[in-house]
Amino acid sequence: MSALKEIGRVPPSDYSKHGLAKDRLILMIKKMMEIRLFEEKVEELYLMKGLITGPAHLYFGQEAVAVGVISALNSDDVIISHHRGHGHALARGIPMKQVMAELFGKATGTCKGLGGSMHVAISPERGSLFASAIVGSGIPIAAGVGLAFKYNKSDRVVAVFFGDGAVNTSSFHEGTNMAAIWKLPVILVCENNRYAIGMKVEKAIALGSIVERALGYNIAGIAVDGNDPVAVYLATKEAVERARKGEGPTLIECRTYRQKGHGIYDKAPYRPKEEVEEWLRRDPIANFRNALISSGAATEADLIEIKNQIRLELEDAVNFAQDSPILPFDELQKYVYA
């Protein structure tokens, strides 16, 4: 039988022990801040300025998951994202300009404006292969990517992100089982943000936790503090090593929290106030900043400088997106078939 494991918050004093040098840690906080500031800007563009429309599922509170997972991957590994994918896109290094332009529906966006927010993380040249807006459907596709790696005798791996809602789809079951029986190099990253739209996770699964599902597929399972990028990184590193050795998939349950509503217009009144407050106190960025400062990896001034730099990039990205053209309608036909 497979074993389950838990990785809690990693004390800053252990960072160097895990081989995380200063520049690596700075890069991680930078990406997390980039995601946070990006989402704040997106909120402003939607709600205050009315410049963008359509669904947008924001990543507030889950930054440590995308950054932690992606930090443990090589550039030729592959991720598969989902409808809440802005964070995956930025963590994978897709330029902010392209991500923003896609939200604006512009020809310069990652999907030329044909995908939108829910597919924004499609950038195969950067190892961000695909993003499905149908909950759970990325999992069987990830099994196929893993199958191709195995078929080609490559040691690449694929990490597929999905939420707690996805674990109840048939896609999760079929895809996970397939990856398990064939020992495919697939890392199943469940972002348990505690809500599937308005459905609380405890009401949606009969087991005590999502990670226990791993036992049913005889694969490794790790429950991890999803608000600590280092903990997520360590869990992913372990899963990557297992996958590269041909020992099959790992289910990583990242325990985190969706700090805002399901979509940009959802005020999420169905959540208890105390719960929200409790999780805001565990904000991944505030905590990681403090950890970096206390461990001497960064100073307050370093972080302010990073923030200012991101703000400038963000302004550029918005201007770029606004100034970019929209694809002519009569060109659309050529994108239907290869």
Residues in contact with other proteins by the rule CB under 8 A: 78, 109-115, 119, 122-124, 129-130, 132, 134, 137, 139-152, 158, 170-171, 174-175, 177-178, 181, 332, 334-338
Structure token pair of residue 185: 């190099």
Rounded to the nearest whole angstrom, what is the least distance from the CB of residue 183 to other proteins in the complex? Answer: 13
Nearer to other proteins, 125 or 274 (CB): 125
Q: Looking at beta carbons only, is 8 or 246 nearer to other proteins?
A: 246
Residue 107 CB-half CA count within 13 A: 10
> In whole angstroms, how close is the CB of 318 to other proteins at the nearest point?
20
Nearer to other proteins among residue 140 and residue 284 (C-beta)? 140
Residue of 219, 201, 60, 41 whose CA lies nearest to 146: 219
- The least distance separating other proteins from the CB of residue 81, rounded to whole angstroms, comes to 12
Minimum CB distance to other proteins, residue 146 (Å): 7
* Closest distance of CB 91 from other proteins, Å: 19
**Nearer to other proteins (CB atom), residue 137 or residue 259:** 137
CA separation for the pair 149, 101 (Å, rounded): 32
Task: Choose between 158 and 230: whose C-beta lies nearer to other proteins.
Answer: 158
We find the least distance from the C-beta atom of residue 191 to other proteins, in angstroms, to be 20
Specify the residue, 10 or 240, whose C-beta has the smaller distance to other proteins: 240
In whole angstroms, the minimum distance from the beta carbon of 111 to other proteins comes to 4
Query: In terms of CB distance, is 121 or 310 closer to other proteins?
Result: 121
